[in-house]
Chain A
Amino acid sequence: MTADQRVPLVAMHGITKRFGAIEALVDVDLHVHAHEVVALVGDNGAGKSTLAKMISGVLQPDAGMIEIGGEEVALPSPQAAHALGVATVFQDLALCDNLDVTANLYLGRELRSRFARDDGRMEESARRVLRELKSRIPSARTPLRNLSAGQRQAVAIARTLIGNPRIIVLDEPTGALSVAHTAEVLTHVQRLRDLGLGVILISHNMNDVRAVADRIEVLRHGRNNGTFDAATASYEDVLAAITGAVPLGRRTSSRHIAG
């Protein structure tokens, strides 16, 4: 591996988090560059979602350091994370069925003109975002209840693009989708990468992960358990690291001392 001199968008060093007797994360490292999709994989309870929640400001680490753009930051709340350019799509999507696509994209951060809500400007930039994503959503005025599961996921992803983020966290975006909808979401993930964003993709599906990720980071029992180049890594190697079939000696080159 060649030494990477670039400054990562996000770097997490020695992250540790305990919930009582549960060791959710122990001394975990993770870094993501611009124009890169990093997949976070592991069994149930391996700590994937906990780590994602720390980047998005929902949880705070007991120990360890988070850097964004090379500077140490504190992320006490989701608002703080959002202000620093981190946008997250959680598993439940958090969309409103009775509102249309535009309203969902701007939920909670509606644009205002001098006296009232600026619907025209919102709809215009909603269209721009949908177009950037090359999504197949027919109109920005369609109510959410008329959209398919895949289209909803696309709306949730499009929502992250409002406010020019740098890092997108996607938690199980293809979880319950059909193959056709999975195809669309994976194409959107590629699109986010093409836009120069850093993407953290959490998924159980090894196929989806290996299809769009640049790098695969394996977590096992809250610890780093291997880094793989997705373009060459074999299914067997990644699976072995997830299940612990290989001894921990594999934890690799991605580790460097913070400082």
Chain B
Amino acid sequence: MAGSQSALRAANRSVVVDTVKQFGGLTQVELVEATGLSPATVSIIVRELLGAGVVDIATTTRSGRRAQLVTLARRVGLAVGVQIGHRHLSVALGDFSHEIIAEQHLPLPHDHRVDTSLDRVALLVSDLLEQVGSELVEVVGIGVGLPAPVDSGTGMISVRGLMRGWDDVHIGQVLSKRLGRPVHVENDANLGALAESTLGAGREYLDSVYVRASYGTGAGLILSGRLHRGFAGTAGEIGHIQVDPQGAVCRCGGRGCLDTVVGAQALIEPLRGTYGSLTLRDVISRALAGDRGCAQVVADAGATIGEVVAGLGVAVNPQCVVVGGELAETGELLLGPLREAVLRRVLPNEIAPIDVVPAAFGPKAEVVGALALALQHADVVLEVPDVVVPGVTDDGSREV
């Protein structure tokens, strides 16, 4: 009898830890709601876990009242989130509350090399760890985002030609060998979707679409609360949907892909005559500063992306479209026309009218998603001595 009771307690404990892990941090009242356990059980388990150093408690406020926020203790482990973009590299350290502890941003050249960039990822990770007084052994996992579809089985890019020179490299393997920790590679828009749907603007919804408007365009699909990757990880690659049958030929080999119309190069080209040398960052900051030419280019991009997203909306019927990526930093300049195009084209329904909102994490959605990915895969070893019934031989330890 005692055995089955302690097994039950262990199971409840792991439910609580899993829930805390999923949400990053939540109050005891929220824990009760999320786990379905009784308030007394949650209270006892949290006290046990606190005693064992698995969780930490901090005071916070919920609807004006003081409350105890439960998070996984940082010494349970750190995670690393890496975003490799077309023109920059971001590395962030976070813990189980998905809080970013330290981060670093490095500008990268056009068509950056796989060997140099992965080397820089490794060096930045160890530099950042040193900054927070930690070491690689403390890292439970590393999540890496790439601006291309990724085969989750091999951690390789699954469509050839999208990133020059990166096609035949086992990115996950190269990094895990170098850093000695588990590495999980994923498409950047999928990571944005993961971050926004678990912790950000899409957390209220079971079905949502995350659109990443950046140097290229991509989308991540959350269906029934889960990330839908497709068999080869190419689901949501809206950057390669044809929008102009007479258009330019894309890197992927197709003609008139969305990326050839709203990608960085395509946005900058018509501005060059009057503005001279421009970068995507310039277009964004000038549009925000009220420059009409740049704002026009951003608005047109929003409308074009919106039409494609509307098609996606008809296909999967999301409750919410979350828009992130660098271009989304222009706010309503991009979102206004995008929303209008989506609402005009998508099938209206009475039950849940579709919502188009900016990403809650803004430009950090992808690294937060990479952190979340690493944490999802991490095993937390629960070594909780059985304090409730002293003297029981069953040590109650269990791996989740």
Contact = CB atoms under 8 A, between A and B. Distances in A.
A187 interface: yes
Given A2-B273, A194-B285, A211-B107, A179 B113 contact: no
A231 B110 contact: yes
B111 A4 contact: no
B277 A211 contact: no
B111 A179 contact: no
Given A182-B106, A186-B107, A187-B105, A214 B120 contact: no
Interface in A204-251: 206-207, 209-212, 214-215, 229-235
A179 B104 CA distance: 10
B381 interface: no
Contacts of A229: 277
Contacts of B116: 207
A230 B110 CA distance: 8
B109 interface: yes
A29 interface: no
A209 B107 CA distance: 10
A211 B111 CA distance: 10
A2 B106 contact: no
Interface residues of A, number: 30
Nearest to A5: B276
Given A33-B276, A194-B285, A215-B277, A230 B123 contact: no
A36 to B, nearest CB: 6
B277 A179 contact: no
Contact of A36 (B87, B111, B113, B277): B277
Given A187-B105, A194-B285, A232 B128 contact: no
Contact of A190 (B107, B112, B273, B277): B107
Interface string A31-72: 001011000000000000000000000000000000000000
Interface of A: 2, 4, 6, 33, 35-36, 178-180, 182-183, 186-187, 190, 194, 206-207, 209-212, 214-215, 229-235
26 contacts: A2-B272, A2-B273, A35-B282, A178-B123, A178-B127, A179-B124, A180-B123, A180-B128, A180-B131, A183-B105, A186-B106, A187-B105, A194-B285, A206-B109, A207-B113, A210-B109, A211-B106, A215-B277, A229-B277, A230-B110, A231-B110, A231-B265, A231-B277, A232-B110, A232-B265, A235-B113
Interface of B: 87, 104-113, 116, 120, 123-124, 127-128, 131, 265, 268, 272-273, 276-277, 279, 281-282, 285
